[in-house]
Structures are given as structure tokens and as C-alpha cells.
Structure 1
């Protein structure tokens, strides 16, 4: 069967928009700005969707079974993300001047954990999932999905009480493993599953509304009880419900907005480049904004920041992809 499913490419486009919006609104949301909190929380599906689509894409394309063994598979997977990861780690090292405050051992540790900059954790986590992909593929059945869901929920809840430096929140692979395995399972008999889901589309629509409402209301209901950064984070059981419902919603709902689709598909194509680069341009823009001492209203700041950061990140992605093609990557 075809390894492309346009709705999931569109979903990836939405996901990269969500990532950029999360990082734009995060400081405002932490300060309690209501509109920023709502945008931030509505975008929390983004990283879970990337993990889901990674598992789904590998499995629907039969990447492991078509490779010439485990090491050939692993080489292909590492080459798909690691060169860009190295490049952007050096860029963020130069920008953040980490060398002045950490020794070489600490910098290497940060590189391995993806903590040189806030968002880089994604690559080490996804590489670990690639390493264990053959084992996870065997577990990608109904029982495995349910077991991974239980593990992820327990892991996310434990963040509230056990905030260990090396396994806290985003760095903890167990906080994401459900999405990856769910994507792998979903890719098996994919057409049959999508047809079957049509019977439940109204329940899925209701589920999406309920799950989104839970995610949006959580900061206002329990924000004074727990660490507010935990309350806002993507690593919460309510976000699991929300992200899962959004995947199902995309499958059962017609999406025929041609112009919007074209934009989302372009963003989807360069989503990894945008993911890696956007934080740099966002923080440069923040520095400029602070230096000029502008005082825009919340909506104008978020909208302008999004258009500026997304536009520059997209152009950089296009240029980097062209450069990679020239050198044979």
C-alpha cells in the first residue's frame, strides 16, 4: 500500500505550527496571560503527534523489513536526523555561550541528552526509539499499546513527585513511548482501521471537544496546586487523550481546504528543519524586542512572532535541504 497519507502530512504541518506557538507563548503563559495559556495548551498535541507519526511512518513504509539488516536500518535512521542535530547543536552552543559556564564533560552530556537547548531533547529520544524499533515492533499490538499507555501515564504522573535530572519530563523516553508504539500499531492494517473508525466519527468529534476542554481548563483548575510548568507541559495524561482524539479526528473528518492544505504540506515537508532552527530565531527576535522596549498587546506579539519565526525557519529549511542534496545527504 502507499506509504503516504496526505491527512497525516497535513497533521504534521499543524504539529510544527503547534511547536512554534508553544515556544512563543510559553513565557507569557507562565506569567498567567490567559490568551497565551489557551494558545499554548491548544498546541500541546504537537510533540506527541511527531512521535506518533514517526512510529507510523517507519511501519507503514516497512523500513525495517525492507532494510538489509538491523545495522542498515539504524544507519539510515541516524543519517536522517543526526547530521542536522550535530549542526544545530553547534549553532546553539555558539549562540548560548554554554562553553563559558560548563566544562567539556558537561557539554558532551548535554549533547547526548539533548539539553544544549530546550527543544533538542526530541532527537536523542527518537534515536533511542529507533534503536529499539525491532523490539517495539513486536510489541505493537493491542496489548502492547495498552501496556505502553499505562507506562506513559505512570511516568508522566511520576514527574509530579520524582523530578530526577536525567529523566524529567521531556527527556524521559517513557513519557513518549505510547505515541510511538500507537503509531506503529496504527500502521498495521491501516486502511481497515481507517474504514472502521468512520463508524465512530461522531463519538470522536465529541471526544476531541471534551479532551481539548480538559487540556485548556487544567491550568486554571489545578495551576495553584502543582508546579505551573508541569501543569502547562505536554507530558500530561490529558494531552494523551487530546492528541489521540486529534489523530482520529483527522482520519474521520474531510479536509478539503486546498490553499490551507498547500501551506500545511509545505510546512510538513520542512518540519524537521523548522523544529531545529525556530528556537534560535525566536530568541534573537525576543532579544531585539526587549532591546527596543516595545510594548505590543498580547495578540499582536504572538501573531507577528509566529509569522516572523515561521517564515525565517521555513526559508532556512529550504536552503538547508538544497545544500544537503548537493552534498548527497
Structure 2
């Protein structure tokens, strides 16, 4: 959708113009150069995980009530509002990638193994006709559950980072790498690459998120100054205006039945910047701990939540007390049940490690 990308370019230019005119500092998110762990990335991941669940809740509501736009337009709006979510996880992954001993071991034990296990169980539950070849194809392309496309996508970025020559990940060459990645991401967003890539590869195409991966590498290498520039209320105010305009446009699209993509460039970047500016890093605040918990355990929630939402398709969401209460209960169940699994598994891991 070129119109949305063009709109993002215009808003980016507007923000850059006011920074230049009013001499307001641009605060670059700094997640990895702190003496203590910055919980804001965990919180942003937490919001992103909530957003992913909200995207799927819209599909759940639409499944039962496709002819009730008074409800589904609102669920679509919340879904479109959450479209920064997947880019956040791609960005966060590249931010912490390092080539070191055990690189592939951690990727297989921490991602591939639980994903394969969850996919195998999901395949047996969801499909009636079982076939090893069919399961293998669905596993490799992330088709057992709709959200699972993210794992093959992320694994491709692990491969890319591993084979990317080291000189392309530092200095001026890194800047060229990032600019190229943003350009390829833009081409993918406006469907230029559709005629080149096979149709089955579309959902797991790394070109859809290449720019966010490159930006993570850029921040990690210090190509952008890691030190905060002086805080400025007008800077937060101005980017809030830009983000508010984006939200209004998203609302306009939503109430016209237009579903946004996950990988438009401007909206996710603006969302990360403003969330980083507004979120607290105080670990003693309950809200901070709660959202950080969701962010830290996003893999558990990501893998288990599809089972919950798939099971819930046996009940109309209105049966939980109407559209509003039904939405809130659906959101709560799809976060709390996987979160409970995460607590149980982590407690078991700690017990075994202490023996």
C-alpha cells in the first residue's frame, strides 16, 4: 500500500523539519549501553505481545460476527493499532545478536525445539488428516497456526546475521547495509517484490522486516550515539502529534474495513520511539513488572496463545458477557493462561538447576 508508506515519509519529514527549526533533540532509544538492564525494551515487547493477541482477537470476533461492523470495526481498529508488534520483535532480536560459541545451540534449544513441539501438538489437534510431509511443510513455513510464520521468519534473520560478513556490520559499511535494508523493506511494502518471490514465501519473507533488523544492528553497534540528548517536552509533544495523526489515519482505515500490514516502516519506528520516551524504568512499579513479565515471556505466550484462541472458537465471544466484556475476557485468557504456563515451566527449570 504505497499511500500508507508515502504518508509515513511525509510525517517523518514533518518531524525532522520541526526538529531542525525548533532545535529539539532527537532522543535515540538506548537499550544495551546501560549499567543495569533497561526494562523499557521488555515493556515494549510486552505491549507488542499484547498487540499480537489483539490482532488475532479481531479475527476471532470477525469469525462469529462478520456482519456487525459496529463491533468488528472497533476490533479492527485495535488490530491495526497493534501493527507495530512484529517489527518490535525483529528489531529486538537483532539488537542482542552476537556470534559466539553456542550460537546455534541456543537458537535450537531456545526457539526451534519449543516451536517444533508446539507445532506437532497443534498439528495433531487442528488437522484431521495427518501426513509427515504435510506437517514438515507447515512446520518450515509456519502454517500450523497463523502466528507461527514468525518463527521461520526469525530463523532466517539468525542465518543472515551468521553469514553476513563482519565488515558489513560496523562503521560506514553498516550504514550502507541499513540503508539498503530499509530500501528493500520499502520495495517489499509496496509490492514490488511480489512478482519475483514465490507466493508461498510471502508470509515468511525477510524483506518484509529487513529494515527493522538493520535498525537493530545500527543501534547495537553505536552507529547512533548511545548517549541521550537532553530531554525536551516539546520533542515528546511533537512526536505525539505525529503518532496521533497516524492513529487517526489508522482509525479511518479501520472504519472503512481496511486491514493494515504488519510491516509498514514508519508506524512501528515512531511507536518504539514514543514508548521509550514515556515508559518508566522503575522496576518497583507493579505495571512495569507486569508488562516486563509479558515481554520476557513472549515466546511462551506466542506459542501457547494460538491453542487458547483456537479452542475459544468453539464459543461465541459474546457468550462471555457481550462484545466489550467478551473482548476483555478473551484478551485476559490469551495472556494469563500462557503466562501461567511460563511461570510453571520457569519454576521447574529453577528446581532442576538447583539440584
Partner of residue 286, structure 1: 313
CA distance, structure 2, for counterparts of residue 181 and residue 4 of structure 1 = 22
CA distance, structure 1, for counterparts of residue 229 and residue 62 of structure 2 = 39
Structure 2 unaligned segments of length 5 or more: list them.
Answer: 1-32
Q: What does 1:264-279 align with in structure 2 at a 5 Å threshold? A: 264-279=291-306
Q: 1:297 aligns with which of 322, 325, 331?
A: 322
Residues 29, 161 of structure 1: CA spacing in aligned structure 2 closer, same or farther, 3 A cutoff?
farther
Tell me if structure 1 keeps the 8 A contact 2:309–2:334.
yes
Residues 122, 193 of structure 1: CA spacing in aligned structure 2 closer, same or farther, 3 A cutoff?
same
Structure 1 unaligned segments of length 5 or more: list them.
Answer: none
Q: Deviations over 1:107-157 (max 9, x none)?
A: 211111111111111111111111121417625633322221111121122
2:241 counterpart of 1:206? yes
Aligned to 1:261, what secondary structure does the other structure show? Answer: helix
Aligned to 2:148, what secondary structure does the other structure show? Answer: coil
Which structure would you say has the larger Rg?
2
2:269 counterpart of 1:244? yes
Q: 1:307 aligns with which of 311, 332, 336?
A: 332
Bigger share in helix: 1
Q: Deviations over 1:11-59 (max 9, x none)?
A: 111111111111111243583422111111111111111111111122x
Partner of residue 253, structure 2: 218
2:84 counterpart of 1:50? no
Q: What does 1:75-86 align with in structure 2 at a 5 Å threshold? A: 75-86=105-116
CA distance, structure 2, for counterparts of residue 259 and residue 310 of structure 1 = 17
Deviation at 1:295, TM superposition (A): 7.8
Question: How many pairs are equivalent?
Answer: 304
TM-score relative to the length of structure 2: 0.76
Q: What does 1:165-204 align with in structure 2 at a 5 Å threshold? A: 165-168=199-202, 170-189=203-222, 192-193=225-226, 195-196=228-229, 198=231, 200-204=235-239
Deviation at 1:286, TM superposition (A): 2.3
Aligned to 2:94, what secondary structure does the other structure show? Answer: helix
TM-score relative to the length of structure 1: 0.82
Residues 142, 209 of structure 1: CA spacing in aligned structure 2 closer, same or farther, 3 A cutoff?
farther
Q: CA RMSD in A?
A: 2.9
Residues 307, 175 of structure 1: CA spacing in aligned structure 2 closer, same or farther, 3 A cutoff?
same
Q: 1:319 aligns with which of 344, 349, 353?
A: 344
Tell me if structure 2 keeps the 8 A contact 1:166–1:172.
no
CA distance, structure 1, for counterparts of residue 165 and residue 214 of structure 2 = 7
Partner of residue 79, structure 2: 40
2:106 counterpart of 1:106? no
Aligned to 2:180, what secondary structure does the other structure show? Answer: helix
Higher RCO (CA < 8 A, seq sep 6+): 2
Tell me if structure 1 keeps the 8 A contact 2:90–2:209.
yes
Tell me if structure 1 keeps the 8 A contact 2:51–2:85.
yes
